[in-house]
């Protein structure tokens, strides 16, 4: 009886792990596809996407302090005609901002996890 | 059927264990104090007013020697001078506060039921100025911090007495502050609670992380890193920057709510500001 329950629990745990792995794999594929898509974009569109993502992170109150200076660097590189560097920097701004947005959504759902359990 | 029952039990158990706890402020305070009591069994509640110096003997010895010639004394004197200097209309700060502004810091932050906002002592100082035709002062350090430091010095040994009135907006402000305290943010993905609850007392490079309980007793504080007196919210902004999160504006709603939550947990602790900190 106990053995059966244990087996069931193990099966559930394995199924959940697989589901999570599949879901993460999907996310990774999506993210990779997005980066490839960004590579194909013109710099003005990439800049727009980076700025929009940063604005969304800021609106959520989760913008990272390192993102703003990076955006300034990206604009400076763009202005100086350093196309490759500007693309790399705008992509980094977008990437950081997407992570900050994800962090905000995670925090909104799970912020109570750090509340100490004293009992 | 048995398997279905078992699966239901597991799922129900998982949901039950991960259900969010919406405790009331007093329960929150009891819980966090119980946590620290367990973490630092030899520290009394009042000891937490000394911050990290309550939990580390070596740091405490150095701090006590520093306090023999307090680095904040000049700032307090300057703050008193500012406090007593009349505005252009002849009124002074004393006209804006209960008891002439003396010995009242223990009641701040307070919730203003008229505006539905949390008022900190620094926001009240600036409100006093603007309502008397004076320009608002920059928050964080300088003249405003000095006035606040003087007011804190007149409130020493008074016990913190932050009240959450029977008003849904006040509870919402407290909850928003609590959420901000426990949310991970910044590129380092750390919450206030990561360092000052979960890891309180741990070695962080050359420093010992201080317990959150008692943080608010000694501000404004003279920090050697600032080489000046600064306010609690300046420290919040500094902490946020250290975890690479863009800080909120000083005296923003976010930080006022955070201060409300943070100070409420210290209710009953004696004020000992301004203090000196590394």
Q: Tens of pLDDT along B152-187?
A: 999 999 999 999 999 999 999 999 999 999 999 999
Q: Is B112 within a domain?
A: yes
Average pLDDT over residues A34-41: 55
Asked whether the beta carbons of B217 and B271 are under 8 A apart, the reply is yes
Least Cα distance to B211 among B221, B201, B220 occurs for: B201
Q: By three-state DSSP, how is residue B90 classified?
A: coil
Whether residue B59 is found in the same domain as residue B182: yes
Mean pLDDT over residues A79-106, rounded?
97
Residue A36 sits in the same domain as residue A78:
no
Binned at pLDDT 50, 70 and 90, residue A39 comes out as: low
- Check residue B254 and give its pLDDT: 98
A9 and A45 housed in the same domain: no
The domain total for chain A is 2
- Residue at B172 is within a domain: yes
For residue A9, the model assigns a pLDDT of 53
Predicted local confidence at residue A11, as pLDDT: 55
For residue A65, give the chain B residue with the closest CA. Answer: B246
Q: Nearest to residue B278, comparing CAs of B209, B222, B239, B234?
A: B222
Same domain (yes/no): A9, A60: no
From chain B, the residues in CB contact with A112 under 8 A are 20-21, 182
pTM passes above 0.90: no
3-state secondary structure of B243: coil
Look at residues B153, B177, B193 and tell me which one is the last residue of a structural domain: B153
Q: B239 an active-site residue?
A: yes
Same domain for B171 and B60: yes
Query: Do B58 and B193 fall within a single domain?
Result: yes
pLDDT at residue B278 in the model: 84
In the beta sheet, which residues pair with residue A48?
A: none
Residues in A touching B19 (Cβ below 8 Å): none
Q: For residue B92, which phi and psi values (nearest 5 degrees)?
A: -130, 175
Residues of chain B predicted below pLDDT 50: 1-2, 4-22
Sequence-distant (6+) residues with CB within 8 A of B9 are none
Q: What is the DSSP letter of A115?
A: S
Instruction: Give me the CATH number covering residue B109.
Output: 1.10.760.10
In our burial notation (b when 16+ CB lie closer than 10 A, e otherwise), range B178-213 reads bbbbbbbbbbebbbbbbbbbeebbeeeeeebbbbbb
> What pLDDT is recorded for position B204?
86
For range A58-81, the mean pLDDT: 97
Interface test with A, best of B245, B249, B254, B258 (most A CBs within 10 A): B245
In a domain, B9, yes or no: no
Asked if A65 and B244 count as a contact pair (C-beta separation under 8 A), the reply is yes
**End position of a domain, from candidates B133, B153, B173:** B153
Between A1 and B139, name the one with better pLDDT: B139
Residue A20 has pLDDT above 50, yes or no: no
Above pLDDT 70, what percent of chain A?
64
Task: Give residue A15's domain range.
Answer: 1-40
Scanning B21-40 for CB atoms below 8 A from A yields 21, 28, 31-32, 34-35, 37-38
Confidence of residue A117 (pLDDT cuts 50, 70, 90): confident
Q: What is the pLDDT of residue A2?
A: 47
**What domain range includes position B57?**
23-68+164-277
Give CA–CA dist B243/B227, Å, rounded.
22
Verify that B146 and B168 share a domain, yes or no: no
Q: How sure is the predictor about A119, in pLDDT bands with cuts at 50, 70 and 90?
A: low
């Amino acid at each position: 009886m106990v053995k059966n329950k244990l087996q069931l629990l193990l099966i559930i745990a394995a199924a959940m792990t697989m589901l999570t792995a599949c879901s993460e794999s999907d996310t990774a594929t999506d993210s990779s596809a997005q980066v490839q898509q960004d590579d194909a974009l013109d710099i003005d569109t990439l800049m727009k996407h980076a700025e929009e993502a940063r604005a969304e992170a800021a609106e959520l109150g989760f913008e990272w302090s390192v993102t703003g200076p990076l955006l300034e660097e990206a604009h400076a590189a763009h202005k100086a005609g350093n196309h490759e560097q500007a693309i790399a920097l705008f992509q980094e701004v977008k990437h950081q901002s997407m992570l900050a947005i994800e962090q905000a959504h995670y925090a909104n759902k799970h912020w109570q996890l750090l509340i100490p359990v004293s009992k | 059927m048995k398997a279905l029952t078992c699966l239901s039990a597991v799922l129900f158990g998982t949901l039950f264990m991960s259900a969010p706890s919406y405790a009331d402020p007093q329960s929150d305070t009891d819980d966090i104090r119980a946590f620290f009591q367990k973490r630092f069994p030899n520290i009394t509640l009042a000891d937490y007013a000394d911050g990290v110096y309550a939990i580390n003997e070596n740091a405490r010895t150095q701090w006590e020697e520093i306090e023999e010639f307090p680095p904040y004394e000049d700032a307090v004197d300057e703050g008193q001078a500012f406090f007593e200097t009349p505005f252009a209309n002849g009124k002074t700060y004393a006209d804006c506060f209960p008891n002439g502004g003396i010995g009242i810091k223990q009641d701040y932050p307070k919730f203003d039921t008229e505006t539905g906002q949390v008022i900190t002592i620094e926001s009240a100082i600036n409100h006093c100025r603007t309502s008397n035709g004076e320009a608002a002062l920059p928050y964080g350090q300088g003249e405003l911090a000095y006035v606040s430091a003087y007011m804190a010095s007149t409130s020493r040994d008074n016990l913190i007495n932050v009240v959450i009135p029977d008003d849904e907006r006040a509870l919402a402000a407290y909850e928003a502050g609590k959420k901000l305290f426990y949310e991970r943010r910044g590129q380092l993905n750390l919450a206030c609670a990561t360092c000052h609850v979960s890891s309180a007392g741990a070695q962080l490079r050359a420093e010992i992380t201080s317990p959150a309980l008692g943080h608010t007793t000694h501000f404004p504080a003279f920090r050697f890193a600032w080489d000046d007196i600064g306010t609690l919210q300046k420290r919040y902004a500094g902490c946020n920057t250290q975890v690479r999160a863009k800080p909120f504006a000083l005296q923003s709603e976010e930080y006022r709510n955070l201060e409300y939550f943070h100070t409420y947990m210290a209710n009953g602790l004696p004020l000992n500001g301004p203090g000196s900190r590394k």
